[in-house]
Amino acid sequence: MTSHDAASPEGGRPFVVLGVSAGIAAYKSVEVCRRLVDAGVHVAPVLTERATRFVGRATFDALGSEPTQMTVWDEASPIPHTRLGQKADLIVVAPATADLLARYAAGLADDLLTTTLVATTAPVVVCPAMHTEMWEHPTVRDNLARLVARGVTVIPPEDGRLAGGDVGTGRMAAPATIVAAVLAKLASLSPATADLTGIRVLVSAGGTRESIDPVRFITNRSSGKQGHALAAAARRRGADVVLVTSASQPRPVGVEVVEVETAAQMEEAMLSRSSEADVVVMAAAVADFRPQVMVRTKLHKADGIPELVLEATNDILAELGRRRPSGQILVGFAAETDDVSERARAKLVAKGVDLMVANDVSAPEVGFDHDTNAVTIFGADGTVVAVPLSAKSDVADAVVDQVVLLLAAPRS
Q: In the prediction, which pLDDT does 232 show?
A: 84
pLDDT for 4 equals 40
Choosing from 166, 189, 212, the residue where a domain stops is 189
Question: Domain for residue 359, yes or no?
Answer: yes
According to the model, what pLDDT value does residue 412 have? 55
Tally the domains of the chain: 2
Residues 237 and 161 in one domain: no
- Mapping DSSP onto H, E and C, the string for the chain reads CCCCCCCCCCCCCCEEEEEECCCCCHHHHHHHHHHHHHCCCEEEEEECHHHHHCCCHHHHHHHCCCCCECCCCCCCCCCHHHHHHHHCCEEEEEEECHHHHHHHHHCCCCCHHHHHHHCCCCCEEEEECCCHHHHCCHHHHHHHHHHHHCCCEECCCEEEECHHHCEEEEECCCHHHHHHHHHHHHHHHCHHHCCCCCCEEEEEECECCEEEECCEEECCCCCCHHHHHHHHHHHHCCCEEEEEECCCCCCCCCCEEEECCCHHHHHHHHHHHHCCCCEEEECCECCCEEECCCCCCCCCHHHCCCCCCEEECCCHHHHHHHHCCCCCEEEEEEEECCCHHHHHHHHHHHHCCCEEEEEECCCCCCCCCCCEEEEEEEECCCCEEEEEEEEHHHHHHHHHHHHHHHHHCCCC
215 and 185 fall within a common domain: no
pLDDT at 191: 53
CA distance 265 to 209: 10
Query: What pLDDT score does 264 carry?
Result: 94
The CA-based dihedral angle spanning residues 371, 375, 379, 383, taken in that order and rounded to the nearest 10 degrees: 130
Residue 309 in any domain: the answer is yes
Q: Say yes or no: 54 and 81 in one domain.
A: yes
Boundary (domain end) residue, out of 189, 207, 231: 189
pTM for the whole thing? 0.58
Find how far residue 267's CA is from the centre of its chain. Answer: 26
From 158, 189, 220, give the residue that closes a domain: 189
Whether residue 39 is found in the same domain as residue 152: yes
Here the CATH number for the domain that contains residue 165 is 3.40.50.1950
216 and 179 assigned to the same domain = no
The reply to whether 179 and 214 lie within a common domain is no
Are 59 and 73 within one domain? yes
- In the chain, the N- to C-terminal Cα span, in Å, equals 41
Position 1 in a domain: no
Domain boundaries, position 390: 194-408
User: What is the full per-residue pLDDT of the chain (412 aa) written as tens digits?
Assistant: 333 433 344 545 789 999 999 989 999 999 999 988 887 889 999 999 999 999 999 999 999 999 999 988 766 666 777 889 889 999 999 999 999 999 999 999 999 999 999 999 999 999 999 988 889 999 999 999 999 999 999 999 988 777 767 777 888 999 988 988 888 788 777 655 678 999 999 999 999 998 888 888 888 888 898 999 899 889 878 899 999 999 988 777 678 999 999 999 999 999 999 999 999 999 998 988 898 888 888 888 888 888 888 898 999 999 999 999 999 999 999 988 889 899 999 999 999 999 999 998 888 777 777 778 889 999 999 999 999 888 788 889 899 999 999 998 876 5
4: in domain? no
- Is 8 within the bounds of a domain? no
Q: What is the CATH number for 353? A: 3.40.50.10300
Distance CA 180, CA 39 (A): 10
Let me know whether 57 and 107 are in one domain: yes
Q: 148 and 73, same structural domain?
A: yes
In this structure, is residue 7 part of a structural domain? no
Tell me the catalytic residues: 220
User: Does a structural domain hold residue 54?
Assistant: yes
Any domain includes 312? yes
Shared domain check, 369 and 350: yes
Same domain? 205 vs 180: no
- Indicate whether 241 and 119 sit together in one domain: no
Q: Are strands 167-171 and 158-161 parallel, antiparallel or unpaired?
A: antiparallel
d(CA 87, CA 79): 13
pLDDT of the residue at 7: 38
